[in-house]
Amino acid sequence: MILNHIIVLIPISLLVFSFITFLLGTVRRSLAYPTALVGSAISVACSVVGLILVLQGGPIHYYLGGWPPPIGIEYVLDYLSAFMAVLTTFIGFISIVYSRKSFAQELPHKVVPLYTITLLLLSGLCGIIVTGDLFNLYVFLEIASLTAYALLAVGEKRAPVAAFRYVIMGTVGACFYLLGVGFIYFSTGTLNMADAAKLLPAIYDSRAIIAAAVFIVIGIGLKMALFPMHSWLPDAYTYAPSAVISLIAPLMTKVFAYVLIRMLISVFLPEYLSDVIPATLVIGWLAAAGIVIMSIMAIAQDDFRRMLAYSSLAQICYVALGIGLANPLGLIGGMLHILNHAFMKGCLFQVAGAIRYRTGLTSISKFNGLGKKMRWTMGSFGIAALSMIGIPPACGFFSKWYLMLGSIDAGNWVFVGVIALSSLLNAVYFFKIIEKVFFAQPDDDIVENAAEPPKEMLVPIVIMAVAIIALGLVNVYIVTNILEPVVNHVFN
């Protein structure tokens, strides 16, 4: 019986547990961590069960309050959303495991609200993923954004300024999205995605729909930090607490990329966004430019986290490139890159946090010889870095492979060149670190005294690193069983 409700349990369990965490945490601070852990474990279980159900029996539709659409709010767990839900909850779980020691060192007095807000954030993200209703998506989007603002603000001295900038840009993005939804609603009279997708083709030429598409794409583009709307991201990522950023960096922008994909495949349909208005073309070229420029910016950084932030920007452009290609293989590449990049960036930011935890270092130029002291951590870093560069069989290679095939199908040689060039640029900034970490002599007392981080931090890092290799090897199962049905459904 509970299986019927699995879809709504994913966000609701997180929501309920966020408040349980708060209540128990007020009673006793040490209870916050285990409660949060239990809550996110339950959500992982729910989403895994959901994925299994979807793989067995196809998409699940759930009508909130028993009202069928278009009146009521519909939750949909199709292949893509089930996959994203598993990804989100799993990364959330891993980073909560990771966060304990990090919070204990950096922000010991704010543990209870931090865990509450973290669970709320996850709940918002899961809500974004499972909802099939355009306005409901806005509500969850705001929940996720508000909690993210709060989490990002508690970091270093400069964090609030960065978070404030994020608030402004994020609000503009969300409002643009809301405006676009308004245009859709007043043109079609529905807020349900599937319903809108049915009604929209009849009025594709309407100026209102064009406006809706433009507003939604810009709004989501701001939220996912698509080049050139990225200016809020580097500061926000650089100054946030390590544990927070290892949760937000893999998830936030990816989930918004997912929203863009969802708009593309289940609201507007690709033929509209690629033919009637050349939105995908614009996204694709912006992404191509973004990949190159952001990678070059990443090379210029000395702060490890800032470098990773710029690298994130470049990587989110890969997803956007897949969306911009708007053909089956490109889209598969983009979606697969959401998964891959979530794991790679999660691992890298966790490594950054671990280094900071043990040594307090954030500047790459001081990393000399760290590999000898933190073998497992830096080994995992090496795997993640190689995956970012695109060395097979790590997973990063495969998303680039599909994107490349998609670009070839689209006949766009510039994109092919950009993908190849970007892996070289990735190599430049990652090998700069690998060289220092593994092959330079330690020249610093801090490094000499460094040691492996505690097990609670190390285990998540290693799990992520192993997952990076494993995902590369099993990517074909994900592609054929989960992503291809999504794409075939749209492009047949």
Partner 1 sequence: MIAKYKNIVVNIASRVMAPFMMLYALYALFHGHSSPGGGFQGGAIMAAGVMLLRLTLGKERSSRKFPVWLAPVIGTTGVFIFAGTGIVTMLGGGNYLDYGFLPFPFLSPSEHRFWGILIIEIGVFLGVSGIMVTIFDCLTAEQE
Partner 2 sequence: METLLGSYWFYITTILMAIGLWGMLAKRNLMKKLIGMNIFQTAIILFYITGSSKIGATVPIYDPEIGVANPALYHNPLPHVLMLTAIVVAVATSGVTLALMLMIYRRYHTLDEREIMKRMHE
Partner 3 sequence: MQAYLSIAPVIAICVSLIAAILIVMSRHYPRLCVGWTIGSAVIKFAVIASMLPSVLNGNYPAIKLFELSPGISLAFKVDSAGMIFGLSASLLWVITSVFNIEYTRIFSWLRDIRYFASFTVCLAATIGIAFAGNLFTLLIFYELLTIATYPLVVISGKPEAIFAGKKYLAYLLTAGALLIIATALTFRYAGTLDFIPGGFLDAGIGSDKLLVLAVLFIIGFGVKAALMPFHSWLPTAMVAPVPVSALLHAVAVVKAGAFGFVRVIGFVFGPTLFHDIGAGTILSIMAGITILISSLLAIGQDHLKRRLAYSTVGHLSYILLGLSLFSPIGWIGALLHIVNHAMMKITLFFCAGAIAAKTRMDRVSQLGGIGKQMPYTMAAFTLAALGLIGIPPISGFVSKLFLGQGALGADLWILLALLLLSGLLNAGYFLPIIRRAFFVPSDMFVKYDESPLLFVIPLALTALMALYFGLQPNGLFDFFKLATDAATSVFAGGIR
Question: Applying CB under 8 A, which residues contact partner 2?
Answer: 135, 138-139, 142, 146, 149-150, 153, 157-158, 160-161, 163-164, 167-168, 171-172, 175, 178-179, 182-183, 185-187, 191, 206-208
Q: Does 335 bind partner 3 (CB under 8 A)?
A: no
Q: Does 62 bind partner 1 (CB under 8 A)?
A: yes
Secondary structure class of 190 (helix, strand, coil)? coil
Q: Which of 302, 409, 443, 448 binds partner 3 (CB under 8 A)?
A: 409
Q: Which is nearer to partner 1, 19 or 186 (CB)?
A: 19
CA distances to 4, 55, 342, 467, 484 from 49, rounded to whole Å, are 11, 10, 21, 20, 20
* Residue 319: how many other CB atoms lie within 10 Å: 30
Helices (H), 5-133: 6-27, 32-57, 79-106, 111-130
What does the CA dihedral 325, 328, 330, 336 come to, rounded to 10 degrees? 140
Instruction: Give the bridge partners for 363, in sequence order.
Output: 303
Q: Which is nearer to partner 2, 164 or 376 (CB)?
A: 164
Tell me the Ramachandran region of residue 250: left when phi exceeds 0, alpha when psi lies from -120 to 50, beta otherwise: alpha
Residues 6+ apart with CB under 8 A from 383: 347, 394, 465, 468, 469
CB of 390 to partner 3, least distance (A): 8
Strands (E), 110-262: none
Q: Which is nearer to partner 1, 62 or 349 (CB)?
A: 62
For partner 3, the binding residues in 152-181 under the rule CB under 8 A are none
Q: Which segment (4-12, 125-133, 269-277, 308-316) binds partner 1 by CB under 8 A?
A: 4-12
Q: Which of 56, 57, 66, 108 binds partner 1 (CB under 8 A)?
A: 66
Q: Which residue has the tokens 């529905």?
A: 190
Peptide bond into 270 cis (omega under 30): no
Q: Does 210 bind partner 1 (CB under 8 A)?
A: no
Question: What is the distance between the alpha carbons of residues 29 and 470, in angstroms, rounded to a whole number?
Answer: 37
CB of 158 to partner 2, least distance (A): 6
Secondary structure class of 77 (helix, strand, coil)? strand
CB of 295 to partner 3, least distance (A): 13
438 binds, among partner 1, partner 3, partner 2, none (CB under 5 to 8 A by kind): partner 3
CB of 479 to partner 2, least distance (A): 37
Residues 6+ apart with CB under 8 A from 455: none
Q: Which is nearer to partner 1, 8 or 459 (CB)?
A: 8
Q: Does 314 bind partner 3 (CB under 8 A)?
A: no
Q: Which is nearer to partner 3, 93 or 402 (CB)?
A: 402
Interaction site with partner 3 (CB under 8 A): 386, 389-393, 397-398, 400-402, 404-405, 408-409, 416-417, 420-421, 423-424, 427, 431, 435, 438-441, 473, 475-476, 479-480, 484
Interaction site with partner 1 (CB under 8 A): 1-2, 5, 8, 12, 15-16, 19, 22-23, 26, 62-66
